[in-house]
C-alpha cells in the first residue's frame, strides 16, 4: 500500500517537533509546551505509524525514550534498558489494555501492582556489596548520564543498605522528585535572591540533578521512591514485583506508601479515582497512576514492544497544564478591594475543564514572569484551584506583544488605586462606594463590633444587593419595613426587628463608627486610638499623613491608608449621607493623661485551639485592651497563648524563652489586665 505524501511529510514533521521538545524537556529542563500537548503529538505520530508501518523508522521517537545524555556528564550504558510506559487516557483504554493482557496470558485472575506516577526524573541506582556505586539517568533508554555524585547528596537514597539478604550486585530504579513544600521554599529563596524560579517541581528536580557542582544539588530538597529494578540475578528474584519491593524497603530503599496490590482491572480504575480525588493532598506532584502485572513470570511471558513493556501502563490524569495564548489582561476588583490582573485566554482544555481566564495574582507577578498580551503561555489548573499562568514562552512572542500596565484608578468605581512600597497587592481606596466591595463593606459595617445591626446576615445582605434595595451602607437607613417584608424568608416581624436594629444603631460611638468604615488596617484598637486623639471626625478626615503619624501606633502604612480613604469624594459622600440619616455619638469622656490601656505595649501570638473562644475572639480581646496580636513568634513577642495542638510556634516560643500562657491564664490576664500568672 502506497503511503500518501501528506502522511509521510506529517510524520517527518512530528518526529522533528518531538525531538526538539525532547531536547527542551530532557536536556535543557525548560519545556516549551505542556505535557498534554507533547502527549498529543506523540499520539498522532503513533497513530500514523500504526496506519502506515512503513513510516516507522528505527530513530522514531516512538521507538526510544527521552533524549541523548548531555555532554557535561559521562555516559553510562544500561545493562538492562530503561524503557518508558505506554499511556492510557481513559477508562476504556485501561479496560482494553487489561483485555489484551488477559488474552495473551489466557486467564483473568491477575494481580496488579498499582502506584502513583510521580512527576520527576527516572534514575537507576547500582549497589555492589550493599554500597551505592553508580547512579544514572534514563537518557535515551540505552545510555544515560552518570549522576552518581549528585545522587549521593539525596538523603532519601541510602549510601549503604540496611538489613541483609541483598544480592552482590543489583539495580534499583525509581523516580527522583521534589516535594511540593520543598519546591515552594526553593522558589521563595530564588525570588528573594532575585534569581530565576522553576516552573514546576519536575523541572526543579531535573535541574537539580544535572548540576555540575554536587554542592548545589545538596542544597536542593530532593527525594526518591523506588518503583522497580534493572540488573538483578534471576536466581534471587522473588515470584512477584510487590515482594521484591518489600525487600527493597527492608534494605532502606524508599518505596511509595501508596503502592498496593489489587485483584483486577476494575480495582485498578477504582484506585485511580481514589488517588485523583486525593491528588492535591499528596505532598508531591503526580500525573497519573501506573498499573503493573505483579507476577514476574507473567511479565516474562508478555514481554516488550519497541519502547515499553506489555505488562504495564500509565493511566494519565487530566492534564493540569496546557499551552495557549493571552488575548488580553483585565483587572478584577475583589471583595476587599484587591486588584487582580486576570489573563483572558484562547480557550484551552486543562484539568478536565475548558479554561478561558487565569489569574496572574498581582502586577509584580506579571512583570516578574514577563507575561504580555499576545504571549504564548503555560496555564495550570490543579483540582479545584483557580487556573493560573505558570510562565510565558518568550521564544514564541509576536512582535506586537504588549506589556501590562496597572491602572491608576479602580476599574469598578474610579477611586484611587493604592500601592504601598513593599506590598505586592494594589487596592481600591473606595471601600464605602466601590460596587465590587459592597457586600464586604455592608457586612463589616453591620458587624457586632462595628454598628451592631442585629439581623443583617449574609443572605439578607445578598438579597438587598441583588434586589438593588441598597448600593452603599448609607442606603440601609432608608429601608422601609414593607420593602423588607417582600424579601424571601423575611416576614413582617423580622422586617420590623431589622428596622428597629437600624434605628438603635443610629446612636453609636466614634470608635465604632470609625471601625465600621472599613479603612484598611484600622481595627478596633486603632479606631479607638484615632478617636481619642482627634476627638471628632472632621479633624481626622482633614489630617495629612504627617499629622496622622503622630498618633500612637499609627505608622506610615496605616497613615497612608487613612489619608487616601478620606481623599476619595465618593467615600466622603457616603459618610455625609450616613451622618445625614441621623447617625450620631456622644462626646468622648475626657481621660486622665496618665491613663494607659492594661495590655498596651504587649505583643501576643495565639496558636492552637481554644475551648471558650475562637482565635479571632482572643485576638480581639488583646486589641481591645491595647495589645498587639501578631501571627508569628519572634524575640519581640511577650506572650504565646497556646491552646490544643499548638504546633511549631510553641517550640519556637520555648526556645526563645517567651512566656507561654494556657487558656485559663490568658483569660485571667485579659480580664484583670494585670501581670501574667
Q: Give the gyration radius of the chain's Cα atoms.
A: 32
CB distance 293 to 190 below 8 Å: no
Spacing of C-alpha 215 from chain mean position: 29
What is the pairing mode between strands 584-585 and 507-508? parallel
What residues have CB less than 8 Å from 192, skipping those under 6 apart?
none
- β-sheet bridge partners, residue 511: none
Given its phi and psi angles, is residue 468 left (phi above 0), alpha (psi -120 to 50 degrees) or beta? left
CB distance 390 to 360 below 8 Å: no
Three-state SS at 384: coil
DSSP letter at 545? H
CB-based contacts of 497-506 (< 8 A; 24+ apart in sequence): 497/454, 497/455, 498/453, 498/454, 498/455, 498/456, 498/460, 501/453, 501/454, 501/455, 501/456, 502/453, 502/476, 502/477, 504/452, 505/451, 505/452, 505/453, 505/583, 506/477, 506/581, 506/582, 506/583, 506/584
Per residue, the 3-state secondary structure of 477-534, as one string, reads HHCCHHHHHCCCCCCHHHHHHHHHHHHHHCEECHHHHHHHCCCCCCCHHHHHHHHHHH
Cα dihedral 451, 457, 458, 461 sign:
negative
Beta strands in 97-200 (DSSP E): 112-118, 121-128, 131-137, 143-145, 169-177
Helix axes 35-51, 5-22, angle to 10 degrees: 140
Q: How far is CA 429 from CA 441, 520, 565, 569, 572, in A?
A: 12, 9, 6, 11, 12
Per residue, the 3-state secondary structure of 6-35, as one string, reads HHHHHHHHHHHHHHHHHHHHHHCCCCCCCH
d(C-alpha 647, C-alpha 272), whole Å: 33
First to last CA, the chain: 93
DSSP alpha helix (H) spans, 25-134: 35-51, 91-105
Look up 117 and say whether it is catalytic: yes
CB distance 104 to 310 below 8 Å: yes
Of 117, 443, 619, 649, the active-site residue reads: 117
Spacing of C-alpha 231 from chain mean position: 39
Three-state SS at 455: coil
CA nearest to 170, candidates 209, 197, 131, 138:
131
What is the pairing mode between strands 603-607 and 628-630? parallel
All three cell numbers of 575, joined, read 459618610
The four Cα atoms 574, 363, 344, 287 give a dihedral, to 10 degrees, of: -120
- 357 phi and psi angles, rounded to 5 deg: -135, 150
CA nearest to 220, candidates 244, 249, 187, 243:
187
CB distance 359 to 339 below 8 Å: no
Active site residues: 117
Amino acid at each position: 500500500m502506497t503511503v500518501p505524501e501528506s502522511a509521510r511529510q506529517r510524520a517527518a514533521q512530528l518526529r522533528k517537533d518531538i525531538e526538539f521538545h525532547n531536547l527542551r524537556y530532557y536536556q535543557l529542563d525548560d519545556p516549551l509546551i505542556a505535557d498534554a500537548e507533547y502527549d498529543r503529538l506523540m499520539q498522532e505520530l503513533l497513530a500514523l505509524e500504526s496506519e502506515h508501518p512503513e513510516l516507522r523508522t528505527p530513530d522514531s521517537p516512538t521507538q526510544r525514550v527521552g533524549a541523548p545524555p548531555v555532554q557535561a556528564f559521562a555516559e553510562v550504558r544500561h545493562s538492562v534498558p530503561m524503557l518508558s510506559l505506554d499511556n492510557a487516557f481513559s477508562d476504556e483504554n485501561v479496560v482494553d489494555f487489561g483485555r489484551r493482557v488477559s488474552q495473551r496470558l489466557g486467564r483473568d485472575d491477575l494481580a496488579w501492582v498499582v502506584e502513583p506516577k510521580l512527576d520527576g526524573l527516572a534514575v537507576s541506582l547500582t549497589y555492589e556489596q550493599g554500597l551505592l556505586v553508580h547512579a544514572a539517568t534514563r537518557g535515551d533508554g540505552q545510555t544515560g548520564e552518570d549522576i552518581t555524585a549528585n545522587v549521593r547528596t539525596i538523603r532519601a537514597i541510602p549510601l549503604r543498605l540496611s538489613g541483609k539478604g541483598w544480592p552482590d550486585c543489583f539495580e534499583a530504579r525509581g523516580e527522583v522528585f521534589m516535594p511540593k513544600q520543598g519546591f515552594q521554599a526553593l522558589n521563595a529563596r530564588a525570588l528573594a535572591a532575585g534569581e530565576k524560579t522553576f516552573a514546576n517541581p519536575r523541572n526543579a528536580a531535573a535541574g537539580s540533578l544535572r548540576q555540575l557542582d554536587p554542592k548545589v544539588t545538596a542544597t536542593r530538597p530532593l527525594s526518591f521512591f523506588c518503583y522497580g529494578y534493572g540488573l538483578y540475578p534471576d536466581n534471587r528474584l522473588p515470584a512477584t514485583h510487590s515482594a521484591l519491593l518489600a525487600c527493597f524497603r527492608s534494605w532502606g530503599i524508599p518505596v511509595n506508601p501508596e503502592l498496593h496490590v489489587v485483584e483486577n482491572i476494575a480495582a485498578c480504575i477504582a484506585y485511580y479515582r481514589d488517588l485523583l480525588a486525593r491528588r492535591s493532598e499528596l505532598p508531591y506532584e503526580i500525573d497519573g497512576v501506573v498499573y503493573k502485572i505483579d507476577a514476574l513470570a507473567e511479565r516474562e511471558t508478555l514481554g516488550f514492544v519497541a519502547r515499553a513493556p506489555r505488562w504495564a501502563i500509565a493511566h494519565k490524569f487530566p492534564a493540569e497544564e496546557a499551552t495557549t495564548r493571552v488575548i488580553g489582561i483585565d483587572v478584577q476588583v475583589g471583595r476587599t478591594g484587591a486588584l487582580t490582573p486576570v489573563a483572558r485566554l484562547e480557550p484551552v482544555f486543562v484539568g478536565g475543564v475548558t479554561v478561558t481566564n487565569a489569574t496572574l495574582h498581582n502586577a509584580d507577578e506579571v512583570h516578574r514572569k514577563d507575561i504580555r498580551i499576545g504571549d504564548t503561555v503555560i496555564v495550570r489548573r490543579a483540582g479545584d484551584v483557580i487556573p493560573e499562568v505558570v510562565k510565558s514562552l518568550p521564544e514564541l512572542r509576536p512582535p506586537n506583544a504588549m506589556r501590562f500596565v496597572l491602572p491608576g484608578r479602580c476599574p469598578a468605581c474610579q477611586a484611587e488605586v493604592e500601592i504601598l512600597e513593599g506590598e505586592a497587592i494594589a487596592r481600591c481606596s473606595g471601600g464605602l462606594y466601590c460596587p465590587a466591595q459592597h457586600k464586604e463593606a455592608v457586612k463589616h459595617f453591620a458587624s457586632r463590633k462595628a454598628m451592631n445591626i442585629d439581623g443583617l446576615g449574609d443572605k439578607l445582605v445578598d438579597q438587598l444587593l441583588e434586589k438593588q434595595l441598597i448600593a452603599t451602607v448609607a442606603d440601609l437607613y432608608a429601608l422601609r419595613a414593607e420593602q423588607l417584608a417582600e424579601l424571601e424568608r423575611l416576614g413582617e416581624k423580622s422586617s420590623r426587628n431589622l428596622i428597629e436594629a437600624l434605628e438603635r444603631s443610629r446612636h453609636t460611638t466614634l470608635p465604632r463608627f470609625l471601625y465600621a468604615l472599613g479603612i484598611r488596617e484600622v481595627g478596633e484598637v486603632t479606631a479607638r486610638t484615632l478617636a481619642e486623639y482627634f476627638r471628632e471626625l472632621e479633624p481626622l478626615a482633614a489630617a495629612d499623613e504627617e499629622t496622622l503619624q503622630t498618633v500612637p501606633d499609627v505608622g506610615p502604612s496605616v497613615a497612608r491608608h487613612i489619608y487616601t480613604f478620606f481623599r476619595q469624594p465618593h467615600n466622603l459622600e457616603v459618610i455625609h449621607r450616613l451622618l445625614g440619616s441621623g447617625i450620631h455619638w456622644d462626646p468622648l469622656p475626657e481621660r486622665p493623661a496618665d491613663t494607659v490601656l492594661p495590655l498596651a505595649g504587649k505583643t501576643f501570638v495565639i496558636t492552637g485551639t481554644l475551648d471558650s473562644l475562637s482565635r479571632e475572639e482572643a485576638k480581639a480581646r488583646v486589641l481591645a485592651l491595647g495589645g498587639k496580636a501578631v501571627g508569628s513568634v519572634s524575640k519581640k513577642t511577650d506572650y504565646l497563648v497556646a491552646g490544643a495542638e499548638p504546633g511549631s510556634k510553641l517550640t519556637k516560643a520555648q526556645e526563645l524563652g517567651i512566656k507561654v500562657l494556657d487558656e485559663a491564664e490568658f483569660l485571667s490576664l485579659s480580664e484583670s489586665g494585670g501581670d501574667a500568672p
